Amino acid sequence: MTKAPRSAVPDGDGPAEVAARFTGRTVTGVRTLSGSLAEAVLDDGRVVVVKDAGGAEAARAEAAGLRWLAAAGAVRTPVVHGHDAFRLVVDRVAPGRPDREAAVRFGRELAALHAAGAPAFGAPPPGGPVEAFVGRAPMRNVTGDEWPGWYARHRVLPYLRRAVDDGTVSPAEADLVERVCARLPELAGPAEPPARLHGDLWNGNVLWGADGHVRLIDPAAHGGHRETDLAMLALFGCPHLDAVLDGYQEAAPLAGGWETRVGVHQLFPLLVHAVLFGRGYAEQALAVARAAG
């Protein structure tokens, strides 16, 4: 449960001052949502969220990602008012309830977002850093021309090596994943152009708005394969996922056999989570590798 708005604006360069600086409005109240999030009420009645992004590059990457996704004119994102070396100020999303109609709409909009494209696999958003983040894990936006090799070198293997170094995955187990990487050209399906990805599309970053439209938050945006976003939605669960997929397929049908490739696309987020959270996610990644192998 969040706290009620406070009657007095805190002293110093806190959420109120940051919100006022980037919106140009007077802040009438602030309430803390968590250690890194606060809401600020503006004098015109609007509410903005002030987020501690964890550092200058993280704040820049998130702001650039949100703007790049919004520029596609497809899935909506909160308006970015600005960012400094640590904080990001965006519009608050009035929450609604997910239903099938909104899910189908989201699927169509997600297809349009992906179709907006990217200059290359791994391309960062305009103004975004090469040294970016996926959640709290570093993510390098190094570009490539063909998806299988790029995905192996820059999305799967860096986290696999980190998991081995940390003792979360044994060298013998890592060999299972490396064999899948070597077979990616035959496992990847038909070649597709780079899609404009959210990049961290788990359910917590999908906000169902009161107006019936989804907003996407906290992106790790880059050019990638569109099936990767969909695989992550499936990995961590999404309300009415079947309806989301129906809407997506209506707008931009997936290549045949996409269901058999879901696990391959889940290797990236599973290994990121293994690095961040430990062995349980490593075991899921190894199960995916065994099934693909």
Burial profile 236-246: b = 16 or more Cβ within 10 angstroms, e = fewer: eebbbeebbbb
Is residue 145 annotated as a catalytic residue, yes or no?
A: no
User: Using an 8 Å Cβ cutoff, are 75 and 110 in contact?
Assistant: yes
Biggest alpha carbon–alpha carbon distance for the chain: 61
Burial of 47 (0-12, 13-18, 19+ CB in 10 A): middle
Residue tagged active-site, from 11, 43, 175, 200: 200
User: Using an 8 Å Cβ cutoff, are 191 and 146 in contact?
Assistant: yes
Give the whole-angstrom CA distance, residue 147 versus residue 152. Answer: 8
User: Using an 8 Å Cβ cutoff, are 158 and 133 in contact?
Assistant: no
Q: Give the catalytic positions in this structure.
A: 200
